[in-house]
């Protein structure tokens, strides 16, 4: 299980990405397709056509890291639109990697002014 620092942003490249691409090409996609700085330290997620492989790219102080997960049976619930960039929370990323949809709604937070 990966842990991420607070304030980390996760950008998903919605739709299909060719998983033959490696660090350099995925960094270019983060810059050109997602319009984000790949050196920011944030996570950039990519998924293949069969929805069984995810790659997460991020910059870690002195070099890029590429995290790769391939499912043996199931599929990821990856957002479909190819032209869309999706900003999600690290919580939603955990859902996605656990096989859940990022579309699900968590319980809303309640705000009370006083207790009586």
pLDDT digits (tens, 9 = 90+) for 10-56: 999 998 999 999 999 999 999 999 999 999 999 999 999 999 999 99
Statement: residue 83 has pLDDT above 70: no
- What total of structural domains would you count in the chain? 1
Residue with tokens 């090409």: 25
Statement: residue 102 has pLDDT above 90: no
Cα dist from 18 to 10, 45, 60, 82, 84, whole Å: 19, 12, 23, 12, 16
Residue 106 placed within a domain: no
Residue 27 placed within a domain: yes
Residue 54 placed within a domain: yes
Report the chain's mean pLDDT, rounded to a whole number: 89
Residue 109 placed within a domain: no
Residue 6: predicted pLDDT: 75
The whole-model pTM stands at: 0.84
Residue 114: predicted pLDDT: 82
Statement: residue 108 has pLDDT above 80: no
Residue 78 placed within a domain: yes
Confidence of residue 4 (pLDDT cuts 50, 70, 90): confident
Confidence of residue 82 (pLDDT cuts 50, 70, 90): low
Task: Give residue 22's domain range.
Answer: 10-97
The DSSP secondary-structure symbol of 37 reads -
Return the H-helix or E-strand segment holding 95. Answer: helix 90-97
């Amino acid at each position: 299980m990966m842990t991420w620092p607070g304030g980390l942003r996760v950008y998903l490249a919605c739709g299909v990405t060719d998983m033959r691409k490696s660090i350099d090409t995925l960094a270019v996609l983060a810059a050109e397709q997602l319009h984000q700085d790949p050196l920011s330290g944030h996570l950039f997620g990519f998924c293949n056509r069969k929805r069984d492989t995810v790659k997460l790219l991020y910059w870690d102080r002195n070099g890029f890291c590429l995290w790769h997960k391939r499912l043996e049976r199931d599929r990821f619930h990856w957002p479909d639109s190819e032209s869309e960039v999706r900003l999600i929370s690290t919580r939603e990323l955990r859902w996605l990697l656990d096989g859940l949809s990022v579309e699900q709604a968590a319980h809303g937070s309640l705000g009370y002014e006083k207790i009586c």
